[in-house]
Amino acid sequence: MNGTAAPAGIVITELSGIETGDGPLRGLRLAVKDNIDVAGAPTTGGSRIFGHEPALATAPTVAALATAGARPVAKVNLHEFAYGVSSDNPWHGRVPNPRFPDRIPGGSSGGSAAAIAAGIAELALGTDTAGSIRIPAACTGVVGLRPRNGSLDLAGVQPLCPSFDTVGPMAASVSLVAEAWRALSEGASSPGGPLARAGAAGGRQGDLAGGGGRAPLRVGVCGDPDPAALGILEGLGVQTVRVELPLDEIEAAFWPAFRAEIARAHQATYPRLAGEYDPNVAAKLAGTQGIPLERYRASRERLAALRERLLGEWRRLGAVAVVSPVLGIPLPRVGEREEDYRDLLGLYAVPASALDLAALAVGDLQIMARSEREALDLGIALERAGLTPVAPRLG
């Protein structure tokens, strides 16, 4: 890591000597969340239960970035087993927030976000099941992409909730996240549509504003996103329309399926090794037990119906994306109890996970879209027009 000592609590294992390619990410340092395998290094999942033997193979997501030239330099800390939003880890240290030292870094990919914010790496990989890339991106002022389920090969990634688990890139800018996504997806989501072209024109009212008989693009607005970001959208000629997400209904449908899958993912170690878990995580696992198949199936069916309803509303409004905050409350202080804020912190992050949407966090601004390309295109247009990662509210 260029001989610079990393702040305590971020790095679990330093990496070196990994072969890389000569691609567009050449020379960029890569931090890997420690629930993703790198051959020869342990994968702890942020726990003391796993990581006693090194991984035998490198996860395809890591390999794709290394082939594109990124150099893995560290396995980084997380909320134990990726199940929490504080990244306060009793075994590997509390992850700091380099931008706001008296506040939490978010989670569960807190170490990935902190590695970017602290300058340990230019790129990071995180996982996102219910907001775990976007929440720490918002808390630390970086950028992170949650791809849709099934977009990438999750081999070599410790499962939390397999139907909702995703892996995505994090960086200090949308453009670098887009480069990483291009490498991860082999160009399938290379940004280059009308949104990106308009942004390349210097943020002027180009393709976004319509013209030539075409209607201007429309973007939904949910919650109270940053006014400056909305001003940049308007400057690009985008029409905004108010969108209300049924947040309570989405969460009520989501949590039974989420918890049922987590219980099955941990059934080999919980409750048998309950005393070896972080007590914070063990308490959550206790709440996942006993969800029957019928309730799980009903939860998945409700989510599918909600997704169709939401996308139908977007089509009716002509919205190509929806912007919102990521965080539902001001950024909590270090030392506050996670159970007191965890549900509200990711209030606006859960819908994209529950309804299988792509979602890009530019700090505390979230762009939800039907595809990664649509989210990245709008993010690039905004960035080229002057948007930087939106700071979280501190309260």
Token readout for 364 is 């505390």
Counts of helices then strands in the chain (DSSP H, E)? 12, 13
Distances in Å between the Cα of 179 and the Cα atoms of 90, 153, 175, 252, 318 are 34, 18, 6, 36, 28
Confirm whether 109 is a catalytic residue. no
Tell me which of 33, 47, 112, 151 is the catalytic residue: 33
Is 86 assigned a catalytic role? no
Residues 68, 127, 349, 304, CA torsion sign: positive
373 Cβ contact partners less than 8 Å away, ≥ 6 residues apart? 188, 189, 190, 191, 193
Distance CA 295, CA 36 (A): 30
Strand partners for 362: 143
Query: Does residue 241 contact residue 221 with C-beta atoms inside 8 Å?
Result: yes
Strand intervals (E) in 39-185 = 71-76, 88-89, 93-94, 123-128, 143-146, 166-171
- Whether the CB-CB separation of 162 and 257 falls below 8 Å is answered with no
Residue of 86, 109, 112, 132 marked catalytic: 132
- Tell me, yes or no, if 175 is annotated catalytic: no
Catalytic residue annotation: 33, 108, 132
